[in-house]
Amino acid sequence: MERFGIIHYCKTSNISLELRNLELNKLSALGSSFVLFETCLRKIYFYDTTRFDSTVGDLLCELQASQSNKNDNFDIFENQKAYQFILEVISGLKSNIKGETEIFGQFKLFYEQFKLKNLESSSFLDQVFSQLIQDCKFLREKHIKNWGSQSYGSLTRKLLDKQNPLLVIGKGQLAREMAPWLTQIPSKYLVVRDLQKKIDPEFQDFSQVLINDMSAISYSGRINLVIAAPLTHKELESFMKSLKDRGLAIHKVVDWRGGVELPINDESEIKKENYFHLSDIKNTLAESEETLNEKIKIVQIEISKMIEKFGKKVQLYPWGWDDICA
């Protein structure tokens, strides 16, 4: 626990493209001493505080300086605070939809892939990741599983109708998590950039169309759209123009991008009541915000107890004097 550190980078903060690229360049220079876990909204770099060189240490100091200057993009945590932050993330407490399940599924997949890599920090981080999954399972079983249907897929299915064909932009982890919930929609298209690349089994009942070529859609009329990729407004405007040129009219939009919203007004082709942004969708949950906040507090207290208990453990590693830690 005392050797565990993370750098958390928020993708959705409202900063200039130039500053964002500068920050991402700094993060890309961290190298193999750090292990990256990435979601649609976050980049989280894990590290063992005893295993990086002075160059990386200087870079870490730069990032800490950015944090001290109230740069909301970065959070740097170590030891118990790092463990608590990650546990709250994978438990769904920091998600826009509290208690959602997708982030935990993403982390378990990340852990399976991590175990296949031969990294210097593998032994220590492997132990921490394994404990995180064990603790998250406990929290979900004891506290979170009865919060209701907190799933991006389940909410998307509720918002859409079966009558109109569906276009899903994105084929990453979020889209894969949603795909099983959309099986009852008979006509579905996965929007991709390259038709030659193999798609995952979750999309086996989806037809593929290129993002800049809608000619593969043998249909004209109303369609529904799910945005599950971090497209810019400019990219979306170009895409929607290609739909219109093809004779397709967007009926409903479910926008999971977070942070940014399509500029919907009285003159837009899409009606306000048919545009569902992440910030709006979370308000459709059955639980009242007050009740949900009370449940979150209970889980956070449970997390504090778990960290205290875990922090008292002593692990002995026979091959190094610096591997005796609490």
pLDDT above 90 (res 169): yes
pLDDT at 129: 94
Report yes or no: 317 and 323 within 8 Å, Cβ to Cβ.
yes
pLDDT at 291: 73
pLDDT above 80 (res 239): yes
65 Cα distance to chain centroid: 26
pLDDT at 82: 93
Q: Choose from 110-114, 274-278, 292-296 the range with maximum mean pLDDT.
A: 110-114
pLDDT at 110: 93
Structure tokens at 258: 């977070």
Residue 280 one-letter amino acid? D
Neighbour-count burial of 73, counting CB atoms closer than 10 A to its CB (0-12 exposed, 13-18 middle, 19+ buried) = buried
Each residue's pLDDT tens digit, 103-139: 898 899 999 999 887 665 578 899 899 999 999 999 9
The pTM is what? Answer: 0.59
Among 115, 113, 221, residue whose Cα is nearest residue 167: 221
Averaged pLDDT for residues 22-27:
68
pLDDT at 60: 67
Averaged pLDDT for residues 229-253:
87
- The larger pLDDT score, comparing residue 68 to residue 219, is at 219
Query: What CA–CA distance (Å, rounded) separates 155 from 254?
Result: 10
Averaged pLDDT for residues 47-64:
69
Tell me the C-alpha to C-alpha distance, in Å, between residue 87 and each of 138, 166, 184. 11, 35, 34
pLDDT at 88: 94
pLDDT at 63: 65
For residue 326, what pLDDT band results from cuts at 50, 70 and 90?
very low
For residue 44, what pLDDT band results from cuts at 50, 70 and 90?
very high
166-180, 210-224, 253-267, 296-310: lowest mean pLDDT where? Answer: 253-267
